[in-house]
Every structure is written in C-alpha cells, then in structure tokens.
Amino acid sequence: MSTWVGHAFSWLIVGLTLFVSWEVFSRYALDAPHAWAYDAMIMLYGSLFMMAGAYTLAKNGHVRGDVLYGFFRPRTQATVDLALYIVFFIPGVIALVWAGYYYAAESWAIREHSSVMAEGPPIYPFKTIIPIAGAVLLLQGVVEIIRCIICIGRGEWPSREEDVQEIDVEELKEMVHVKDEDIRKLDEIITHRESGK
C-alpha cells in the first residue's frame, strides 16, 4: 500500500513542475503574477513530501546514522530497530496522527484559507494530509516491526519489494559485457575521427 500511495502522490511533482513553469511565465512574460501561487506551491510540495514518508520507509530510504549499525549482524540490527520503533517511532507517529487530526479539524471548522489575500487558496484540504500521511506511515511502521520480528527469528532480513533503483555503472558494464578498455578504445576512435574532420 505504501508503494501505491507513494507512486500515486509522486505525480504531484509533475503538477508542481507545470504550475511553477506557468507561474514563472505568467510573472515574467505576461507581467501578471498570482499572489496565491507561492502558497499553492508549498501545499503541493508539502503533500508530496508527507505522503512519500511511508513509501521511503518501505524502501529503507530514510537517512540512517549507521556508523556502527552497518557492522552489526542482522539479528542485532533487527533488535535495535525493533526497540527504536517501539520506543520512539510508534509514539511519535501516533502523536502526529492525533495532533494532525485536531489541526485539520480546526482548519475545516473555520474553512481556513491562506491569508496572503482575501480569496487565498483553501488550506484545510492540505492540513487533512497530515493525519492521513501519519496513518499510512504508522501502518508501514507496523510492517517494519513485523520485518524486525521475522529477522530476529530467521537471522536474516526478509527481502523488500523491488522498485526504481539508482543505476550501478559497474553492474551495468558486467551485464552488457563491456570493459573499461573497450570504452577507452571507443573514446580513442571517436576522438581520432573528430580530429580528422
């Protein structure tokens, strides 16, 4: 579910790119900027950022200070993770959902709008994202706790669902059977041809 939510909300970056491009064109080419545009951009980016939290956790993509952690055996890593999830993560995310719910409810009650101008964009739909993002993150946290328990039992981490990964150039060379000497020879041939023109 976290992957699906992350992929669905990732499309906001396309909308945000088009919106920013239009606003730049409108401001500089048409000399007609919109006072509410900055707030709308922040709401789009904030929604993307918040809803990507569970996705990033599912892909083990959050920043981790693993100076020592990386040297631990999987069971030790899982034990440390399990303790941190129970002591810090779960209470923190529950607090986020709880506070976010009341924060959004107050915003809906007064139909809060941006104060940039009299008819600023509505903020209450954006604030609703806070408890929703927290709830999805909490569900992914439960999955991570289950992964820790499985690892403690088996002695190895269960595999994660594969998704888009950075390209490992060395691995790509091996896949297509290319060596560094081949690349150097090709560079020399191209340089020789270009210098002969």
Q: What is the pLDDT, as a whole number, of residue 184?
A: 82
Domain range annotation of the chain = 2-165, 167-197
Continuous segment of H or E residues that includes residue 89: none
Q: What is the pLDDT, as a whole number, of residue 35?
A: 85
* Residues 83-133: tens digit of each pLDDT: 999 999 999 999 999 999 999 999 999 998 888 777 788 999 999 999 999
Distance in angstroms (rounded) separating the CA atoms of residues 147 and 53: 18
* Residues 39-80: tens digit of each pLDDT: 889 999 999 999 999 999 998 888 877 778 888 999 999 999
* Residues 129-138: tens digit of each pLDDT: 999 999 999 9
pTM of the complete model: 0.75
Which residue's structure tokens are 């020789």? 192
Alpha-carbon distance values, 66 to 53, 72, 80 (Å):
20, 10, 12
Distance in angstroms (rounded) separating the CA atoms of residues 151 and 79: 9
User: What percent of the chain stands above pLDDT 90?
Assistant: 57
Q: What is the pLDDT, as a whole number, of residue 168?
A: 66
